[in-house]
Structure formats: structure tokens, C-alpha cells
A and B are shown apart, each in its own frame.
Chain A
Amino acid sequence: MALIQPDPTFYPSAREAMAAPREELAYVALLDATGEGRPDGLATIDLSDGSVASVHDMSVPGDELHHFGWNVCSSALCPYAPHPHVERRYLVLPGLRSSRIYIFDVKDDPRHPKLVKTIEPETIFEKTGYSRPHTVHCGTDAVYVSALGNVDGDAPGGVFTLDHDTFEPKGRWEVDRGSQALHYDFWWHLGHDTMITSEWGTPNQIEPGPSLELLVGREYGHRLHIWDLTKRRHLQEIDLGDQHQMALELRPAHDPTKTYGFVNTVISVEDLSANIFTWHLDGGVWKAQKIITIPAEPAPADLLPEPLKQFGAVPPLVTDISLTLDDRILLVSCWGTGELKAYDVSDPFDPRETGSVRIGGIARRDPHPASPGRALNGGPQMVEASRDRRRVYFTNSLYRSWDDVFYPDGVSSWMAKVDVADDGSLTLDPAFFVDFASDGRRAHQIRLQGGDSSSDSYCFP
């Protein structure tokens, strides 16, 4: 049923969204750690005290839930496809391993999301030619979903769309994919009708776990692709350099007049560093410039998992980044070293580090202030900033088969929160620590009730 006034969680601009009421609930994807037949779950967290309000188990095991999203968001206010009287009430949860997609309704009882539709893998295969759905973004005209590969688990991966109202898959998005084959994330500059996509690897490359051979062979993704968002055509590729393996998360500036954004590469084969690039439009040509290098940290071999012993160092493994709605603070997860860093990126080509907290980490195992004596594993991974950029929530699991290589003792999962001061410094909230150890599943993507820094896009500056 259409609303009389626009959904109150829609904002014409990111600036206005920063004045949104404080988030009360978080939705967190939980994935089965053992792979032995237990379904994944959707946890609802009460953010006032970090308690678990509910956990909804999926219908069947084996999904590997990753980056989910809302059915609609602030882009419904965009002037060329206006439909603001829809409701942000459905979460679209893709199973990265199963290719199944769940639709949850959170409207009637936000603390207990209700499963209302399941799109079976065969439907996705048949209607889109893709498999392994990974990231969901609410577009102006459809729900957009990225997929890591084709039905056989090989290249090309790409993007498909779901109907806004029925959630039926509408088909492959790309009309002309040009040189693009590998796929990971996607997002857009709505004000410039431009989509950006990134590259991880095909399902067959990544599902068995990280491969030293592929890494040394520089065969993981290292390119960005620029697309005409309305004509759905490939315009340009940007090679970040094949030493920079795995170009993952795309965080365009939220201000639609801006033409830049940030992407992280997980590991450099030359020195194990992780790197962050700024892409930008320069005289009609899209370019990328390396702006941050986070070096590996030396560590004794006996503290390291097998693949890292030979290096005597821990790579930072930057696996997620998040840009606050004022386009000012970039949060960076160093999953390997166990550090969450903050940079002031007001000048996107000259970042300034403003904060850091340590928790977990392959060698360090830093504790949380809530329990100073307890060594934690995993590290800051999926990170999400509140709309007012004052609070940042993060979890510690990456991807099951990869977790177990870097943390062979098995990731015991948690969710933590930092407070961000005006100067961009970070402080771990000692009172907020969600411990999923008793559940046994691993926390991944976080979505905040009513929207967050990576779920909405805006058409007005």
C-alpha cells in the first residue's frame, strides 16, 4: 500500500540524512561457521545495549549470507524516476554460496523480521544467467544485485535487477560488458549516470579458499569498470596494477555533484600491503590514484597461520571501507592486523589519519575493553557508519573458507562499536560488545534500521 507522504527514512540529500533520528536496531547476517547443515541467520540487535533481540534462521542451510540491502531507499526521491510513497520495509538477503535470495519484512515488528518471499537459485539462474548474488543496492528503478559469476561459477559475473514490487528477477543488467569479466561490488554516481564495478574473483576461484597460486599469478581482480548507468554499457576500465590483488568495496562520494570515490585492494603481492585508491573524473576520463598504503606488520612465525609463516609478517588485509555521509571520514577495516582506522578524506587525494582502534588480529588478538583479559580473534571486517557519522559498528568474519585459513582456530564472532569524535578520532565503546560465541555463527554485514552510510544514494546535493 502506497504511503500518503514519502517514507520518513528517505532524504533528498546525504546532508539531510545526517539529521536522521538515531538508529535503534541493527540487522546482522549470521553465517554458519561449520558448514555442517545449520542454516544461516538474520540477527536483530538492540543498539541501546547490544542485546540480541531475535535471530531468524533461514529455511535451509548452505546460503552464506553476505551483503544485503533495502528494497527501496532515498533514491526513490530521484526526479527522473520519482516514486517516494513506497516503503523501506523489506530486506533483500542474498545467499552468496546458494544463490538463494530471501525477502524479509521488518515493518510490522522491526525486532522480529518476517520472511515473506524466497527466490530459489534456479529462478535466478534461469532469468539472469548469473549465480552467487553478493551485494544489493536500492536503485531508482529496481533493486540491483551483483553476482560473482555465471551459472557454472565462472566468469563473467555481473549485475542483475529485481522488480521493485514483486522482487522477481528481471534479467541481466549489462547490455554491453566490454572488457569486464570478473566482478565483485558495484555502486554509482547518480548525478552523473555512472556505475562503477570492481573485481574479486569467480566463484570457482574463491569458494575453495584463498589460493597462493592465484595470488602469485596475479589472477584475482585488480580493475575497476566504469559504465553508463542508463545505457548499461561499459565505458572504460581502470587497472589499479596487477600487484594490487582483489579490488573490493566501492564507496562513491554521497554528494551527487562529486565525481570521486574510494576503493580498497586487499593485498599487494609485492609487499603484502593493503591499498586504497581514489577514483575520479578528470577531463572526461576516469582515473585512479593510490592515496593510502597500509604496510604489513612483522610478527613471530609461531603466531602466524601456515600461509603467512614464510613471510614473518601479518598483512593488514583491508576487506571493507565505509565513507560517512558528509564524505569526510573513511573507515578502513584491517582484518588481518586487527585494526579499524579512520581517515579524514575531505581532500580525497590527501587523506589524513585521524583515529585507530585495535581489536582481534591474526597475531595480536587484542581484547575488547568490555573484557580486557580475553584474547579475540577475527578482526574489524564489515563496517557500517551511522547516518550522523558519530557511531560505527563492525563485525569480525570475512567469508567462511577464508576465515579458516587466516584464523585456523575458527573465528569466534562478535560485533563492536566505536564512537567517532568531531576530530575523527575513534574510541571503542566499552559498553557495547555483542558476543556471538554462544550462537556459534559468524556475523557479517550490518544494516542499520532506517538506513546507514552504505545503503542509500541521493540525487540532490
Chain B
Amino acid sequence: MRKLTAVAAATVSALALLTGAASAEKLTIGLASEPTAMDPHFHNLGPNNAMSVHIFDRLIAQDEKQRLSPGLAVSWKPIDDLTWEFKLREGVKFHDGSDFTADDVVCTMERAPDVPNSPSSYGTYLKGKTFKKIDDYTVHAITAAPYPLMANDISNVPVVSDSAGCGAATEDFNSGKAAIGTGPFKFSSYKPGESISLVRNDDYWGDAPAWSEVEFRPIKSGPSRVAALLAGDVDMIAAVPTTDIKTLSEKADLQLSQGVSNRVIYLHMDQFRENSPFVKGNDGSDIKNPLLDQRVRLAISKAIRRDAIVERVMEGVAIPAGQLLPEGFFGVSSKLKPEPYDPEGAKALLAEAGYPDGFQLTIHGPNDRYINDAKIVEAIGQMLTRIGIKTAVETMPRSVYFGRASRGGADGQPEFSFILVGWGAGSGEASSPLKSLIHTYDKDQGFGSSNRGRHSNAEIDATIEEALRTVDDEKRQDLLAKATEMAIGDVAIIPTHFQVNTWATKKGLKYIPRTDEYTLAMGVVKE
């Protein structure tokens, strides 16, 4: 009799497992980079932000193309030049069951810029903004000057709960005690370097995710990540190395998902020193910096075969670039196209500028930051040599590179003359690169912080600043496009290509690619 009961019990539990299998599904994802904490306000960095989206909602969400959509706020609008009003979603509950209200928003905005030991703070998004609770579901954000980017900034700040999160330390989030948000997934476990587990939030206010459980596993080595997918240890991997894309696409049991990123790869040229340290005459002597001449910069742009970089170096996985953001983003210009390859025109321009025999140049670049970065620098070196600019190439790890490129020279100035860099527009619109790369370097106002070529044009500056004051979307879009056209006309920088990101999933799954390069469990769908 007892035996029979046991068999019956086993059958029942087996049946339960089978029927449960449809809704109880686990997804395992191999990540290329790992968040440094579970505290959503600790480290303003891609991997951290991507992870926190699962657990913590923002007031305003960014979809896969970084377009803004309602999150915990159902609407937002400027009610006068200096005040933005956010209407909050009602009936939302935190993972611990408490209600979401304006108090959570106000305390979040106070905590986010000021987390102890934070290596990179969220203050960037909250500077100069004061938040005020009007009623339980209305919050005002007040600024000293008109500020159109309010919604973009706020879409980057994860909302924590007043009761559990605002007074908590980073380690409370890491232990899970304070990792309580309103997001589609709940915190389950965090083992640094090993795994991060989440479970579905069945009471989510938005679309419930398809996965009842998600495990993220950081596997930094590219070949190992690919092997883990091939071995079936993970269901999906992020950042497929370009060298493996062809082989993986031929596998019948795998599926690749690709999408353009918001990251432009570009060249920055020294435009502020009469004597640039890595530019020399053909005989090795010091010459007046030719990169100051717009014609020389244009010649260099013409000398670059963007389609060859895309085809040969990037294995087809990139898009030639003619401006700061790919098509479809807010503030891009419809008039700009990638500069066509024209070596003869380039030589003519060089001759016109007084360099018929070219000059000597060293290009610097990182070798572990962007997809195939060192190879791109080498290719560009060859292309420039072909039009007579004898180019040497030097690449180095990013840990050494960025410091030197930003302030390694005399008086804390940029050290190099000609560099390869990339820029991802975190805000998803054109003011981000314009403000940081194109605007004149201005320490006091915080403009041009990554303008390592120190290009400077008062007219462009004025247009950018006007755009940053213009709350009307239509007008701002036009101003941003105009500033971009002027910058490209000046050859302030030379865009080469936009990165395309690749995810690989096992057959039957698909990832909806994101321009911000985030890997989100919510974006993994069954086909």
C-alpha cells in the first residue's frame, strides 16, 4: 500500500512538473561584462544599468531604440520654462508589497547622486534639478534654466523604494536586502564573478516577462562565451566576437540577432596646437600642425574607405558613418551621408593645402575597447599612407590609452595628435555627442569634456547651447541637426562607422537588439 502511494505521489509530482514547465521556464544568459554592484545608484556604467533595468523601473523607460516611453510616470511635460511635471502611475507595488508613491521618487533623486564610494555617480543626470512632491502621484522637477533634456536624464535614474532602498548602503543591495524595486524581475541571488539570479515579478504592472527565472553568468573571454553557448550551458550570449559570427550563423541550432548600436567610431584630430607632438614633416622635423587646416582634415576623411573597414575589418557587421548617430535617432541630419572614398580628391586637397608630399603622422588607438579597434587603426594607417600621409600606428590597452588621450600631455592637455575613439549616446539623441565631442572644451560649464581634438567653433557652440535651451522638440531636433551639419562641414571629427552588436541565442529564441547595447531578459522572445 505504502509503495502504491509513493508511486502515485511520484506520478503526481511528475505531472505537476510537466504542466508547470510551460510557464516555469529558466533562461541563462552569458554576459561579456559584469555589473559591479546590485545597487542601482552605485556605478553609472552600461553593465550596471542593464542589470538594474530588470529590478528597478525608471520614471521614463527607454525602448530598444532608446525612444522614451512611460515607465513609472504615465506622463511628463514642462508646465513652465523651469518646471517639469511628472504624473506617476497608480497602483504600482514594490517587490516587498509596499505602494509606489511620490515619496519614493523624491528620495531616489536625493540618494542617486550621492552614494558613498561611488566610482561614477548618477549626479550627471540630476545636477541642477530639485524634486518636489506635489501630491502622492505628482512630482515637480525644478531647474534654474530651461532644460529640455529632463526626460532623457530621468530615463537613466532607477527608482528605489523609500522604505527599503533610500537609506540603504550598497552592500544591502548586494545582499538583496535592499534590492527591492518595481521592475519585471525580483532579486534572487548575487554571486560576484559567478552569477546573478532573478525571478519573475508576477505582480508587474507592465507586460509580464516570459521567463520565470533568469540567470546571468559573466563569461568575459569571448571564445569561452561562444563555447558555453555551443555546449548548451547558456541559452544566449551577448557580444559575439566578430570572428565567430560567420561560423555561428552556419549552425542550424543557433540564431543570431543583430542591431545597430548608438556607438559611433570616429577620429579626433589635434586642432589646438601649432606644434602637435605626433605630426612631423617628411624629414622628421617639426612643422606647423597641418590638422588645423580644414582641407587636410577633409582629405583624410576622403582617404578612408569606410566600406572596406566594414567589409574586411568588421566582417560586414558595422554601418559606414557620416555623422554622430545612425539614422532614426533624434536630432540626426537627413542631409549627411558618409564621405565617399576619393583618394584623388584627397591628394588634390592636400596639395592645395600646401602638403603635396604629405607629412608624417602617428595614429593612437585602444586595443581592447571597441570591436576590432586595433585592426581598424591599422587599416586607417594604411589608407592614409596611400594618399601620402606616412602614418605610423600605436595601440595600447584602454587603461593606459584614455588617460593619456584625455590629459597625458603638457599642462594636462590631450597627449596625442590623431586618435581613434568611440562614443555611445547614452541619452539616445544627438545632443550627447554634440555637447561632449564637438562643443568647445569648457571646464566651467562642463562642455566638450571628451573633445580631445579641442575643435572649437563659436557658431556651432551657440547652436548647441540654443538646442539645449529649446524645450520644443521639433525646434530642438532641427537645431541639433544643424549643429551636426556644421560640425561635419568643419570636419571637427571624422566618423568612420557605427557599431553593430550581435547576440546569439539557441534556436527557438530571438533577442530584440538594443541600440544601447544592453542585454535584457525582457528582450529575449520565443519564436
Whether both chains belong to one complex is answered with no
